[in-house]
Structure 1
Amino acid sequence: MSLSRPVPGDASPARVPALAEPAVNVRAGWIAGVVLVNVGINAAFFGPLQVLLAQQAQVLDPVNKEVILALVTGCGAAVSLVANPIFGAFSDRTTSRFGRRVPWVLGGVILGVAALLGLAGAPNIAAMTILWCLVQTGCNGAVAAITATVPDRVPRGQRGWVGGLFSMGVTVGIVGGAVIAAAVAGFAAGYVVCAIVLFLCVVPYVSNSQDARLDPADRPAFSWSRFAAGFYVSPRRYPDFGWAWLTRFLVNLDNHMVTLYLFFFLQDAVGYPEPANGVLILTGLYAAMTIVTAVLGGRLSDWMGKRKPLVIASSAVIASASLILAFFPTMTGAVIGALVLGIGFGAYLAVDFALITEVLPTAADRGKDMGVINVANSLPQVLAPVIAAPLVLTAGGYLSLYVTAAAIGLLGAVFVVKIKSVA
């Protein structure tokens, strides 16, 4: 399958000035490099998050392993909330001859690789926590920069297609991280393999980024007060950006509430005899559908020349998956729910990504603003357990959890209509 649609006039993205609105389609090699960066970063994130950190916590303290894992992952999540917009803002102001984004992609990956290798030999809980926070710092710096390359380099008419492939890279990386953790013997070797994969995946992009250099004359004046204030994007001044942030937050919160307690749902509500294997089956089905619909949904959006109808429809599909789990608590219902969730979330990731790149306030702050948008991806991971636990334990169990998740997702679909500047 071709990564880019050849059209007359395709040319090197290096011809686009740093702050210009891109008008020339990017080529397959450039797209492949960006996709591979996403694969590597997400393999480095989710191999540890799904398996390796838990294995290490158990070795360090078998009695308190749950508390250790919560501490380490919680600190890492807190770091990710601030690292993404901060490093995005730094990349916006970078005037390196290598471009605005490349130094931060490469530097972030190098920090992530070093911290992963350090985790392989972390002697205690404190070292494990610090090193995982460094992984989050480096990889989120790279995420902020690589995400900003899309509005930097890709014209609007190609963003659905590129956004679909971009999102596909995220999902492939998540699955790849799980495969690494399952296939490699021991958490130390798992960290080493994750580090190697992360480094190798960034090489094609760095060697062919063609990242435009920011003219020093265009660099915004810097002060710490202006820098800090810049992370607040006024919804009154930029209402479409505010609505786009809110809708992404709500849909991601729905998604995380659905997937958070899947193991316990299969074990306690469904009564599936091997819930761990059940989670693997459902995750595989979900990931497969996400990959397919991310690519197809993005391409369909470009062909239609519209974003909002597909974002609304995919948000509603995600909400419907929650209702399937709520009212059909069987393995068959769970399989159907996983397939529906993957169909909706894949299309949503691709098309909403393209929509967001079209409501960014200014070209000079693309990296910072995409970092602020990425908080809408990270914050639901923190809030989902806070909302989900009381619903499951004291307010009606899994029925109330999944109905609430569906309502939240439907709100995300409704609020998309508030965005006026995108069709």
Structure 2
Amino acid sequence: MSKEEQSEPAWVDSIPDERQPKAPIKIGIATGLGALLWLGPYLGVNAVLLPAKVEQIMPSNKAAVVALMASAAMIVATLANIIIGGLSDLTRSKWGRRTPWIITGSIGGCVMLVVFNMVTSVTGLVVSWCVYQIFLNAIVAPLLAIISDQVAPKHRGTISSIYAFGYVIGQYGGQIVGAQFLKSIGTGIIVMGLLTLLAGPIAALIVREPSSHAMPKKSFTWNMFVQNFIFPLHNARDFYLALFGKMFINTATSAIMAYQLYILSDYIRLNTNGQQRYVSLISTLLMITAIVMSITAGPISDKIKSRKIPVFTAALLVAIGVAMPAISNAPWTMLVYGAVAGLGMGIFFAVDQALNLEVLPNPENAAKDLGILNLANTGSQILGPIVAAGIVTAAGGSYYWIFPICSALALIGGVMVLMIKDVK
């Protein structure tokens, strides 16, 4: 053992309440900025620039191509979340377990968006988008695990609120920025790549993660493989209720967001200028309402010592919001959707992350298990277009049924969260 390793404190995989009297605000800032800088560019491309690029390459079959890309990316993201999360848990370096991965993911994500911008075939789009998913998920799961590693349970609502603040701005601000490049798609994709490049380094610089050399190393055995690379098998009922509850709620909103451009053109009947205006208006409404709720919901959740009730309330608001455009195809219904669903998603982003941290079966495998839970975030962004495409196809090209079906999905997700037993 080196002198460096001998001088390091004994490794702990989580921090108890008594060891952290004050909330570690810098962890919230780091993870919030990291979330903003990976999610904003991702959704700016996925929700706005990707559909626009597909329309340029294959306008006659654009919905099917978007669904194909989403299907392939979902498979890759699923594997990447689990494998990279597990490798992060096992990483031993002087920079810690998470930092090497989030920096690698940022660099690779930037490079792959540049490649994605250059390709001009459907095959090239699918392949480059899938490789991009690998690097993107090298940021996501390890970044979330920093909260589990370094934040005591009593502060997780507050820190999750700060994380959610960045997440919400990325969630909706990315689309606002993306919409500004609808007349210059290539430039927009490059800008998104450069923003992604900043995510890992900025988060790592603020956190300054301690060395993980003192963490016990694990030999490769079957039990180690099962623990670090397989879905949890024991004491995981609440874990899976949280996973699928999150998946249903997120899919409800991502289905509409992914097809927002087509909804505005083919259902609301707006021209290109109207589409650009309403993408910005809707995203602004979603962002403002979500920001307001994300700032307040986490600390309130800590104070009332409840995670499930705020998350169910969020699901109910999302269900009401996404149902609104079914009333009429007048543009105002999309604005009401933005305002009401935004309130729900703000609460959800802030409190659901704290809920997730409390249903983890084993803190030693935080990144792997958070990576699996994060499938409900990244996976629903991919699953949403598949669900929307299936609904539109089954309805003979009509977009109407997206809204009531997505409303039902949000309610189902909320009920699943209420079924969690070991978290209040």
TM-score (norm 2): 0.84
Change (3 A) 1:26 1:49: same
How many angstroms apart in 2 are the aligned matches of 1:86 and 1:360?
A: 17
Among residues 99, 108, 111, which one is paired with 1:111 in the alignment?
108
Aligned match of 2:232: 233
User: Once the 2 structures are TM-superposed, how far is the Cα of residue 352 of structure 1 from its aligned partner?
Assistant: 1.0
How many angstroms apart in 2 are the aligned matches of 1:62 and 1:395?
A: 20
Aligned match of 2:421: 420
Among residues 15, 19, 37, which one is paired with 1:21 in the alignment?
15
| Contact kept in structure 1, 2:11 and 2:214, CA below 8 Å | no
Aligned match of 2:79: 82
| Contact kept in structure 1, 2:314 and 2:345, CA below 8 Å | yes
How many angstroms apart in 2 are the aligned matches of 1:16 and 1:172?
A: 38
How many angstroms apart in 2 are the aligned matches of 1:412 and 1:43?
A: 24
Change (3 A) 1:16 1:331: farther
Change (3 A) 1:58 1:270: closer
How many angstroms apart in 2 are the aligned matches of 1:419 and 1:66?
A: 37
Query: What SS does structure 1 have at the residue aligned with 2:96?
Result: coil
Alignment of 1:272-283 (within 5 A): 274-283=274-283
254-263 or 362-371, larger mean C-alpha shift: 254-263
Amino acid at match of 1:404: I
How many angstroms apart in 2 are the aligned matches of 1:86 and 1:389?
A: 29
User: Once the 2 structures are TM-superposed, how far is the Cα of residue 374 of structure 1 from its aligned partner?
Assistant: 1.0
User: Once the 2 structures are TM-superposed, how far is the Cα of residue 44 of structure 1 from its aligned partner?
Assistant: 3.0
User: Once the 2 structures are TM-superposed, how far is the Cα of residue 146 of structure 1 from its aligned partner?
Assistant: 0.2
User: Once the 2 structures are TM-superposed, how far is the Cα of residue 346 of structure 1 from its aligned partner?
Assistant: 1.1
User: Once the 2 structures are TM-superposed, how far is the Cα of residue 320 of structure 1 from its aligned partner?
Assistant: 1.7
User: Once the 2 structures are TM-superposed, how far is the Cα of residue 237 of structure 1 from its aligned partner?
Assistant: 2.7
| Contact kept in structure 2, 1:49 and 1:73, CA below 8 Å | no
Aligned match of 1:207: 205
Aligned match of 1:222: 220
Among residues 110, 127, 131, which one is paired with 2:128 in the alignment?
131
How many angstroms apart in 2 are the aligned matches of 1:231 and 1:168?
A: 31
| Contact kept in structure 2, 1:328 and 1:334, CA below 8 Å | no
| Contact kept in structure 2, 1:283 and 1:338, CA below 8 Å | yes
User: Once the 2 structures are TM-superposed, how far is the Cα of residue 378 of structure 1 from its aligned partner?
Assistant: 3.2
Aligned match of 2:194: 196
Query: What SS does structure 2 have at the residue aligned with 1:256?
Result: helix
| Contact kept in structure 2, 1:17 and 1:212, CA below 8 Å | no
| Contact kept in structure 2, 1:105 and 1:143, CA below 8 Å | yes
Change (3 A) 1:331 1:419: same
Return 5+ residue gaps in structure 1 as ranges.
1-13
Among residues 254, 264, 284, which one is paired with 2:252 in the alignment?
254
Change (3 A) 1:324 1:226: same
Aligned match of 1:3: none
Amino acid at match of 1:194: M
How many angstroms apart in 1 are the aligned matches of 2:180 and 2:252?
A: 31
Change (3 A) 1:215 1:209: same
Amino acid at match of 1:112: G
User: Once the 2 structures are TM-superposed, how far is the Cα of residue 210 of structure 1 from its aligned partner?
Assistant: 3.0
Return 5+ residue gaps in structure 2 as ranges.
1-7
Aligned match of 1:372: 372
| Contact kept in structure 2, 1:92 and 1:364, CA below 8 Å | yes
Aligned match of 2:32: 35
CA RMSD of aligned residues (A): 3.1
Per-residue CA deviation, residues 193-238 of structure 1 (Å, 9 max, x unaligned), is 223222234333222323233356633433478536742223x632
Aligned match of 1:340: 340
Amino acid at match of 2:81: N
Alignment of 1:44-123 (within 5 A): 44-54=41-51, 56-57=53-54, 69-122=66-119
Per-residue CA deviation, residues 51-93 of structure 1 (Å, 9 max, x unaligned), is 4444555666677666655544543333222211211111100
Aligned match of 2:3: none
Query: What SS does structure 1 have at the residue aligned with 2:360?
Result: coil
Change (3 A) 1:224 1:216: farther
Aligned match of 2:327: 327
How many angstroms apart in 1 are the aligned matches of 2:42 and 2:60?
A: 25
315-324 or 391-400, larger mean C-alpha shift: 391-400
| Contact kept in structure 1, 2:286 and 2:342, CA below 8 Å | yes
| Contact kept in structure 2, 1:246 and 1:376, CA below 8 Å | yes
| Contact kept in structure 2, 1:94 and 1:214, CA below 8 Å | yes
TM-score (norm 1): 0.84
Query: What SS does structure 2 have at the residue aligned with 1:208?
Result: helix
Change (3 A) 1:355 1:260: same
Change (3 A) 1:340 1:110: same
How many angstroms apart in 2 are the aligned matches of 1:72 and 1:272?
A: 26
Aligned match of 1:5: none
User: Once the 2 structures are TM-superposed, how far is the Cα of residue 41 of structure 1 from its aligned partner?
Assistant: 0.8
User: Once the 2 structures are TM-superposed, how far is the Cα of residue 101 of structure 1 from its aligned partner?
Assistant: 0.6
User: Once the 2 structures are TM-superposed, how far is the Cα of residue 107 of structure 1 from its aligned partner?
Assistant: 1.3
User: Once the 2 structures are TM-superposed, how far is the Cα of residue 127 of structure 1 from its aligned partner?
Assistant: 4.4
Amino acid at match of 1:407: A
Query: What SS does structure 1 have at the residue aligned with 2:207?
Result: coil
330-339 or 85-94, larger mean C-alpha shift: 330-339
Change (3 A) 1:103 1:121: same
| Contact kept in structure 2, 1:310 and 1:347, CA below 8 Å | yes
Alignment of 1:308-327 (within 5 A): 308-327=308-327
User: Once the 2 structures are TM-superposed, how far is the Cα of residue 240 of structure 1 from its aligned partner?
Assistant: 1.3
